[in-house]
Amino acid sequence: MGVSIKEIARLTGVSRGTVDRALNDRAGIDPAVKEKVLKVATEQGYRSNKAGRILGLRKKPLRIGVQMPSEGNDFFLGVRAGLERAVAARADFGVSMALRTMKGFDPTLQVRQVRDLLAEGIQALALVPISHPDILALLEELHERHLPVLTVNTDIVGGKRLGYVGTDYLSSGLAAGGVLRLLADGRPLRVLVLTGSFRMLGHNQRVEGFRRALESSAPGLSILGVEETEDDDGIAYGKLSAALDRTPAPEAVYVAAGGVAGACRAIEEHGVAGIGPGRVRIIGNDLTPAIRDYLERGVLTATIGQQPFEQGYQAIRLLFDHHVDGTLPPDRTLTHNEIVIAENLKGGTP
């Protein structure tokens, strides 16, 4: 392979320690010497060796903090599985994880949990950020402390972070619209959209993507209305039940956020589950155990998965690579919007 630090030291006529100082921007080195070392390194096309670096770094192993508002949200089980798998695969490289979770979306609590992690001495953070000024301020502070942060699953507008790993919400809505386009097979259908909250950027982006899909390639599909579920199954159940009793009743439903199971229950209890004339087709999001069950039983028509395992796995991988190498992660690492139906539920990666 390439040249080693030893070789650079020999060529420059300095010690390996000095080469290390020059290459890694450490303090206490004569600028002239540094320049000379850097010049030789460039000439030789020096690239630090990851294996050597990992072993050398073992005295101060990388502890990654993770904070997510995931309690009571099965989606994050998948993210967690991915985080854990990635950490396990790198345990021998000195990687470990400290996890804090909470229920709901209280920014004060999120700040507190992140501070707890900092007190524990984490050197990098993966965060599912709440959209709130306090979180923006926190990110600003972490940036100044040079603590690398990755946002996961949800990004935060204007937040300082190294990168984002998660869903492209617009594409997610597009995919849902696409499935309904196929289902309609050229016929008109009245669609009710249930979103989580109009105040959630991601939710709105999904609805927007859905609209665009219909407009551009399925003009026969008309949106009856867009209602909020507050990510709550009970509310989703209530609103959809009411809609099914009204005239004209929806012939299809797109649940753009939480409440998929509640909506499925409403459809099932109204005796209109399934596809075909007189039935109410329903497209959801994510693949929790409850959603999986509705898919298998033929109540839920399809769901758009956002690869939670992959989100967790990549977050760890990117933070570790950055730690070792200084490799900068892409600004946005987007997971694929998987179309999942009963028939491709099994098999394949999580």
Partner DNA sequence: CTGAAAGCGCTTACAG
Largest separation between any pair of C-alpha atoms in the chain:
86
The answer to whether the CB of 138 falls within 8 A of the CB of 116 is no
Residue 336 contacts which entry, DNA, a copy of itself, none (Cβ below 5-8 A, type-dependent):
a copy of itself
- Residue 91 sits in the site that holds a copy of itself (CB under 8 A): yes
The smaller minimum CB distance to a copy of itself, of residues 182 and 242, is found at 182
Among 183, 200, 226, 316, which residue sits at the site for a copy of itself (rule: CB under 8 A)? 183
The smaller minimum CB distance to a copy of itself, of residues 160 and 279, is found at 279
Among 20, 116, 227, 230, which residue sits at the site for DNA (rule: CB under 7 A)? 20
- Residue 83 sits in the site that holds a copy of itself (CB under 8 A): no
Residue 177 contacts which entry, DNA, a copy of itself, none (Cβ below 5-8 A, type-dependent):
a copy of itself
Residue 60 contacts which entry, DNA, a copy of itself, none (Cβ below 5-8 A, type-dependent):
DNA
- Residue 16 sits in the site that holds DNA (CB under 7 A): yes
User: Shortest distance, CB of residue 91 to DNA, whole angstroms?
Assistant: 12
Residue 143 contacts which entry, DNA, a copy of itself, none (Cβ below 5-8 A, type-dependent):
none
Can you give the three-state secondary structure of the chain, one letter per residue? CCCCHHHHHHHHCCCHHHHHHHHCCCCCCCHHHHHHHHHHHHHCCCCCCHHHHHHHHHHCCCEEEEEEEEECCCHHHHHHHHHHHHHHHCHHHCCEEEEEEEECCCHHHHHHHHHHHHHCCCCEEEECCCCCHHHHHHHHHHHHCCCCEEEEECCCCCCCCCEEEECCHHHHHHHHHHHHHHHHCCCCEEEEEEECCCCCHHHHHHHHHHHHHHHHHCCCEEEEEEEECCCCHHHHHHHHHHHHHCCCCCCEEEECCCCHHHHHHHHHHCCCCCCCCCCCEEEEECCCHHHHHHHHCCCCCEEEECCHHHHHHHHHHHHHHHHHHCCCCCCEEECCCEEECHHHCCCCCC
Residues 54-83 that bind DNA (CB under 7 A): 55-60
- Residue 6 sits in the site that holds a copy of itself (CB under 8 A): no
The answer to whether the CB of 260 falls within 8 A of the CB of 303 is yes
Residues 27-46 that bind DNA (CB under 7 A): 27-31, 33-34
| C-alpha triplet 182, 231, 339: angle, nearest 5° | 25
The smaller minimum CB distance to a copy of itself, of residues 199 and 346, is found at 346
User: Positive or negative CA dihedral for 74, 79, 84, 89?
Assistant: positive
Q: In whole angstroms, what is the distance from residue 183 CA to residue 188 CA?
A: 10
Among 52, 121, 234, 350, which residue sits at the site for DNA (rule: CB under 7 A)? 52
Residues 279-308 that bind a copy of itself (CB under 8 A): 279, 281, 298, 301-302, 304, 307
Among 5, 263, 272, 295, which residue sits at the site for DNA (rule: CB under 7 A)? 5
Residue 23 contacts which entry, a copy of itself, DNA, none (Cβ below 5-8 A, type-dependent):
DNA
Residue 15 contacts which entry, DNA, a copy of itself, none (Cβ below 5-8 A, type-dependent):
DNA
Distance, first Cα to last Cα, the chain: 36
Strand partners, 152: 165
- Residue 221 sits in the site that holds a copy of itself (CB under 8 A): no
The smaller minimum CB distance to a copy of itself, of residues 290 and 342, is found at 342
Residues 109-148 that bind DNA (CB under 7 A): none
The smaller minimum CB distance to DNA, of residues 181 and 322, is found at 322
The residues binding a copy of itself (CB under 8 A) are: 1, 49-52, 54-55, 58, 61, 91-94, 168, 171, 174-175, 177-179, 181-187, 213, 217, 274-277, 279, 281, 298, 301-302, 304, 307, 310, 334-344, 346-349
The residues binding DNA (CB under 7 A) are: 1, 4-6, 13-18, 20-21, 23-24, 27-31, 33-34, 47-49, 51-53, 55-60
